[in-house]
Structure 1
Amino acid sequence: MKIGNLELRENPLLLAPMEDVTDPSFRLLCKKYGADLMYTEFVSADALIRSIESTQRKLKIFDEERPVGIQLYGKDIDAMVEAAKIAEEANPELIDINFGCPVKKIATKGAGSGMLKDIPKMVEMTRKIVEAVKLPVTVKTRLGWDESSKIIVEVAEKLQDTGIKALTIHGRTRAQMYNGDADWTLIGEVKNNPRMHIPIIGNGDLTNPKKAKLYLDRYGVDALMIGRPSIGRPWIFKEVRHYLDTGELLELPKIPEHVEMIREHLNNSIDWLGERRGILHMRRHLAITFKGLRDFRDLKIKMLRANTADEVNQCLDEIKETYADCVSIVETMD
């Protein structure tokens, strides 16, 4: 599959952009487990052009994790164009425009999936960003604002006409947020529209290898994007790739392997953010990684209250010893 001049394998697996998740420490881990293309956390155009330090840090990309796309969001066209030029200087493989985030503070202000209520502005913004940068520009969006306005088939053509090089579609409306089942039928309609010639990437509910293959075969998309199911379970990329290539399910890793995975992530996070912030950032991953273990409550509380790397590692050692023969199956909705 090609996105502009970026060449990826057939049916590549993409790590979705997720705020407070897809920083370099997590991206490096997903790359290790087979993600073919990854995205930064959401980058606010307004904050970027004001040179907010925490936002500028999101542009940092390490060679070991490439290829990586920088995802931008904002409601002002001029600000988004300027932000795209700044992001291009960070030398990512592509620029992605966020027209899909459903979070209230973003969508109700007209950014993210809020742009689905103003299609002419969405199209104009996209066209001007495409014209402003030399890198491939892609878009991630949803089916529509709500059940009565699933307009993605029409919108996809308009976006393609602006010159974007790929389109990712999350199979829910903004009103659904992350609730209910993702509707891939409209993603399939976009892919099978004879007017469409850019890669179409499907996203939503890709929680296990069998479902990933089913959706890939049924709807014919060019690539799959995995988001929340990778939190605490970055090896899902390895699972899915193996099943797509062989038709066989990998044996799930046992808890000691989980422990070493999360320890590596912890070390990456501390290297990136420092000990205190790195540990705070890891708490979501720590909780989800060991979800479902029996009699785990007290140890979980102890682990999530740990304030130093030594304390977290002591908890991990205890988990490794106590649950040496256990397998934890983590499935979340994307």
Structure 2
Amino acid sequence: MALRAGQSVTRTSLAGHLSRNANSAIMRMIGSVSSVNSSHYSTTAGGNSNKVASRTVVSERRGPVVSVAINRPEVRNAVNFETAGRLLEELTAFDCDPTASVAVLHGNGGNFCAGYDLKELAHHTASLKLEQDVTRGPAPMGPSRLILSKPLIAVVTGYAVAGGLELALLADLRVVEESAVMGVFCRRFGVPLIDGGTVRLPRLIGLSRALDLILTGRPIGAPEALAFGLANRVVPDGQGLQASLELAEKISSFPQRCLRADRASAFYSAFDATSFIQAMQYEMDRGVPVIQAEAVAGAALFSSGTGRGGTFK
């Protein structure tokens, strides 16, 4: 099975990102996914429309790019227990697939994600099985404890609030439509951020701005999100998914071993390194093997005239 075949690759790549315990947890997650999911992705282009409509998460493969969509538009793509499990499966499958380079996470029906389904929390608490040890099992929103070995882009449309904001923070880049709204809306109801919001948000935008959002729960629009550094791109309404797919294809076109080594070093420096020297050593140790693997060939291309003047073609 393709997912199992990709596990050895993922073991190597994830090891550079995660602590030993967390890495073991991801491997346990991958093993459980392998036993229930017989293919890499839940759907592909041209699949049965009725079957796709009934799924809470649908995905599509476009060359090296995988798009993953939350498919509960009737509740603004709020995530319930089933949806959380499906999101974890799809993103783990992407991470295991050696032929996939970038994933795009979005929501069907005009909203990214309105957070955890509070109706399920209020009326079906037995279905909310919380694993309190973050090195074991999935998070309430599904994949939010992962550190993927490859880039993820979030398409922020409509509402990306509460746990939906935390899912957006899982991504490397956020492409935000002009009318989108982001915020810690769960502040109003006593629902804590337990999917990485208090960890990732201060790293991305700084503690002062993060506390502004965490303590007040106030909504912010695309212009303020861009000024904060929470949004990486702002695009007109209706263009978020296409812009994100084009961005994913561009990232996929670069030499991938070098790109992933640099990405891994940035993550390590932000989250794991205890000193400047340790971060610099990590960067060197992962960069040196890339010189022979990709940089020498790239230098030869440049010396022959490719890419002169900063062109990317």
Query: TM-score under structure 1 normalisation?
Result: 0.34
| Structure-2-length-normalised TM-score | 0.36
